[in-house]
Amino acid sequence: MAIKCNETREKRKSKIPVLALAAVICFQGSNSVLAANSLDESAIAPQEASYGYYVDNYANNNSSNMTPESNPSIGVLSEFHDLWEPGTSWDNGTVLNEDIHNYNIAKSISITENRTDEEAKAAYLIDRRHQNYSAIAGLGPHADNFIAGANAGTTIPDEIPEDATSVGYDDGSNNNGVWADQNSSLGSMVGLIDTIRNSGASTSNAKAYYSYKRPFRWSEDVSVIPTLVPRIKEDPSTDGGFPSGHTNAGYLASYGFAYAVPERYEEIMTRASEMGNSRIVAGMHSPLDVIGGRVMATAVAASALNDPNNKSVKDAAHAQAHEVLLTQEGTSEDNYSDYETNKQNYTERLTYGFEQIGDTTKPMVVPKGAEALIETRFPYLDDAQRRWVLYTTGLPSGYPVLDDTEGWGRLNLFAAAGGYEAFENDVTVSMDAARGGFNEADTWKNDIDGSGKLTKSGTGALTLSGDNSYTGGTLLEEGTLAANSGSAFGEGEVVNTEGTLIENVSNGVTIGNNFTQSEAGTLDLTIGNKEEVLDINGEATFDGTLKLNFTDGFIPDADTPIISYDALAEKSAFSKVEITGLPDNYEVSYDANALYVVDSNSQEEEENESPVVPPSETGDDNNPSKDPVTEPEDDNASATETTKETEETDTVDSTTENEDKKTPAKLEDASKESNNSVKPVTSSSADGDVVENPKTGDDTNIILYVGLLAASAIAAAVVIWQRKFRRR
Amino acid sequence: MNWLQKIILLTCLVVFLFSLIKIGGIGFDYVQSEQVMKEIQVQYKGNLQESKAIASENSVRSQFQSLLDINPNIVGWLTIDNTKIDYPILQSSDNNHYLNRNYKEETSKSGSIFMDFRNKSDAQDRQTIIYGHQMKDGSMFGQLDKFLDEDFFSQNKEFQFDTIYESYKVEIFSVYVTTTDFNYIETDFPTDEEYLDFIDVIEEKSKMRTDIQVTEKDNIITLSTCNELQDPEDGRLVLHGKLTKTN
């Protein structure tokens, strides 16, 4: 048994020297990005390409501009020149980088050879249907409602006609001959996507300029799916492969959907990447074609969203999505419900496994206007902050085609939707919950490093769920900041002045440095097992409110810390403690290195209890709640789920005389006794408690009784036999 | 017959009758346990056939509704083909309660199949541990040792595990006999490394080799029972499988 007395208790984490509290005073909220710690604003300044800035010149994509300098759609892809020198005709260009070209075609071969029937079918549908229609699938559960509300339609059925191998079917779209109606109840959304698609978005000029063949013309081993063979153009001279037009269109529509429904940003981006990938599956395009299509679409979409003339269109689409589409219950199947799978697929398709051939150390460049792509995703950030998000989530340099001057190729919009990947300087986030949506609550999923500090202000709730290691510290000024991972708060100190700091991680949360909470702050911990400890690797200064919510029927032992710390500031204690999920007689107790919750009434009982076994009244008539949201609870929790509020008037620390009323000190005797009764068996938890491996043998002595039965019968037989023998 | 012989004969008779009663009692216990278990098995199977509607995610599935009325501590069901294992899984707030109580909360030598109290009942932990007695009549986990036989193992590499919310396919990747000196009942692995180290160790210990890959993203289930091959007191038979959600 692992009850240890306080004095001998070892901290798991190394002690960090205690820092002065004066640091708190230094924190003053600011509503913008503060002075840089390591990088200044020049890092996110746009860089002009030979064609100018894409967002300013996107309208120049027309057939009268056919050079990289005059046509941005050709210019943004001009890194392709390192790999391929276009010829004067469709078949006389020159491969400049054999390795990359050969890998490109080999990848096409392997993807077409390994495609499944299901993938081939999807590739056929994406090829034949209007790309805007195909992109709807990214809306997941809302897709059917969108189709109904926008009167979106296609004449290409889900099941491929049997004669498709000989007949080329075209999409007749809806009953009005368009993919969806602008005068429908979701017409503003349709209007935004149509606007983006009509913003100098054609790949024809770039295709004509680069004249890079489709993969099946490079190698016979690239097999076009049989149902699309009728679609192969007979004249290869006007049928270039780079960049992929379907991919471009799929991404353009998807950026429109993601702008209107940023709640599904990652899923919509994944759908776009799947549409691009389907072109390789179909045998119609190579990976480089698809990459080129994505890069161009990203620049075009940002251009459309930046154009002041489109402001009313995009605002109306976003508003309509939230007032009409998202207010309906989503009913259709979501093929993109798994975040990790989405992330893996999308990330793989950014580079398709190409090696880095250029300088791999160039800093990220954020294109002018690219921040518009995520302005609805992060409505509470300013443009500069959105550019930092794009900066910190960008791809490394050096990949084929992706190193354009402006930086369009290196943008990773899937990652950007998860928030910062680094605090390169101090970041202040002000979220106004009254504005709803992401202003009210948002989650940053990425792993955040960097030397900056995070300041959270405003009434909204921000959740950090990455494995974070930023070192600048965290200041919560207002609203809610929640940890959804053990390292959510990075490695710096955490200060809570007037907000609510929430922990709800089953393995507990670590604060890498000091923790300070002021009078108006609230610390809200949900605890369902003994691992769920708030571990402060520094000095703790407590004030304000502590809320402890015990779930899953968990009742902590007297030696299980709820909060551990290297040191407790003098006279420091929460002024108010609210405990839910435990009987009334539980209260908090501070010692030199941890805060505990102890049962003030039952010291004697505990001396006889195993430390891992909740008190005896938790035993037989458990009645776990099966509510999956709160997770199952024992009735010892639910039945006693009374909120207890204790106004703590006096300050307690390990040296006050109050302590001998509290458990930790008194536990010394109990722990010694109990320790002797521990069996040397099995699982111990991090803080040394032992969980016994249950004895699951069958202790019925059936063999003993059979033996006794036989023995007694034999003994009787011997006696009787002896008697008979003697008589003779 | 002299008095000594009489005493011996009388003693033998007493011992004989005593043993007979005990054996009868044990047999009766076994039969009764089986009967009690039959009741809930019949009910569960019946529920399974009736439940056509697919329950939405995160809600109690219909086949468990009536079981929870019997005992709200039921957290799942375990079925292993070609063994007697077809039992409800219970969970208490400690690991002793169901050692000697059946699902009706009646005292029973066979106890129940039960989940470690530290586990989340929806099997969201990296390792979910299920315990059961190795009963001599082969009930509970009495036939788990069949998996030590290569022929049996090769033909029974998978079984089914149900929580009240989800069904899982379990692919067995490790079976071995050990003692309680080996700590295989951790439920919490703070880092991926610790988890993968543990997976390496239990794969290494396994008597059977499989090509099942377990990654840090996978959760596993562990079935644990007593076994006397290595130690009559602290010997354990352990079986680990990888969980895959099924619909």
Averaged pLDDT, groups of 10, chain A, 728 residues long:
34 36 34 51 95 96 94 96 92 94 96 95 96 97 96 94 87 92 96 95 94 95 93 88 96 98 97 97 97 98 96 96 94 94 97 95 96 97 97 97 97 98 95 94 96 96 96 96 95 96 90 94 92 92 94 84 92 91 86 88 46 32 36 38 42 38 34 32 46 82 86 88 77
State the nearest Cα–Cα gap between B52 and chain A, in angstroms: 19
With CB atoms and an 8 Å threshold, state whether B180 touches A694: no
A613 in reach of chain B (CB within 8 A): yes
Name every residue whose Cβ is closer than 8 Å to that of residue B34 and which is 6 or more positions away in sequence.
B137, B139
ipTM: 0.81
The interface residues of chain A toward chain B in range 405-464, judged by CB-CB distance below 8 A, are: none
Residue B84: inside a domain? yes
Distance CA B116, CA A672 (A): 26
Residue B28: inside a domain? no
Nearest-by-CA chain A residue for B64: A626
B120 in reach of chain A (CB within 8 A): yes
Mean pLDDT, residues B50-76:
76
- Given a contact cutoff of 8 angstroms between Cβ atoms, the answer to whether B99 and B93 are in contact is no
B26 in reach of chain A (CB within 8 A): yes
State the nearest Cα–Cα gap between B136 and chain A, in angstroms: 6
All residues of chain A having their beta carbon less than 8 Å from the beta carbon of residue B131 are 694, 696
Residue B168: inside a domain? yes
With CB atoms and an 8 Å threshold, state whether A529 touches B118: yes
The CATH number of the domain holding residue B144 is 2.40.260.10
A163 burial via Cβ count (<10 Å: 0-12, 13-18, 19+): exposed
With CB atoms and an 8 Å threshold, state whether B190 touches A715: no
pLDDT of residue A644: 45
B181 in reach of chain A (CB within 8 A): yes
pLDDT of residue B52: 53
Distance CA A197, CA A25 (A): 52
**Closest CA relative to residue A243, chosen from A61, A435, A368:** A61
Nearest-by-CA chain B residue for A716: B9
**pLDDT at residue B175 greater than cutoff 60:** yes
All residues of chain B having their beta carbon less than 8 Å from the beta carbon of residue A618 are 93-94
With CB atoms and an 8 Å threshold, state whether B58 touches A618: no
State the nearest Cα–Cα gap between B99 and chain A, in angstroms: 7
Distance CA B87, CA B89 (A): 6
**Choosing from B226, B237, B238, B243, which is the catalytic residue?**
B226
With CB atoms and an 8 Å threshold, state whether A698 touches B224: no
Residue B95: inside a domain? yes
All residues of chain A having their beta carbon less than 8 Å from the beta carbon of residue B19 are 705-706, 708-709, 712
The tally of domains found in chain B comes to 1
Strand ranges in A334-477 using DSSP code E only, listed in sequence order: 427-430, 441-444, 454-457, 461-464, 474-476
- Given a contact cutoff of 8 angstroms between Cβ atoms, the answer to whether A566 and A19 are in contact is no
With CB atoms and an 8 Å threshold, state whether A623 touches B72: yes
All residues of chain A having their beta carbon less than 8 Å from the beta carbon of residue B12 are 712-713, 715-716, 719
Closest partner residue to A702 (CB to CB) among B136, B180, B188 is B136
Residue B82: inside a domain? yes
Distance CA A27, CA A655 (A): 31
Residue B87: inside a domain? yes
Look up tokens 């054609």; give the residue. Answer: A202
Q: Sort strands A474-476 and A494-496 into parallel, antiparallel or unpaired.
A: parallel
Test the A interface: residue of B12, B193, B244 with most A CBs within 10 Å: B12
With CB atoms and an 8 Å threshold, state whether A693 touches B236: yes
Residue B192: inside a domain? yes
Closest partner residue to B8 (CB to CB) among A623, A705, A719 is A719
State the nearest Cα–Cα gap between A399 and chain B, in angstroms: 29
Distance CA A355, CA A353 (A): 6
Beta bridge partners of A49: A52
The interface residues of chain A toward chain B in range 312-341, judged by CB-CB distance below 8 A, are: 340
Range of the domain at B149: 36-246
A486 in reach of chain B (CB within 8 A): yes
Residue B238: inside a domain? yes
To the query of whether residue B12 is one of the catalytic residues in this protein, the response is: no
Closest partner residue to B93 (CB to CB) among A553, A626, A716 is A553
Indicate the residue type of A338: D
With CB atoms and an 8 Å threshold, state whether B136 touches A552: no
With CB atoms and an 8 Å threshold, state whether A619 touches B120: no
Look up tokens 């928030």; give the residue. Answer: A419
Token pair for residue A507? 């393995």
Distance CA A376, CA A379 (A): 5
- Given a contact cutoff of 8 angstroms between Cβ atoms, the answer to whether A303 and A199 are in contact is yes
Distance CA A51, CA A71 (A): 7
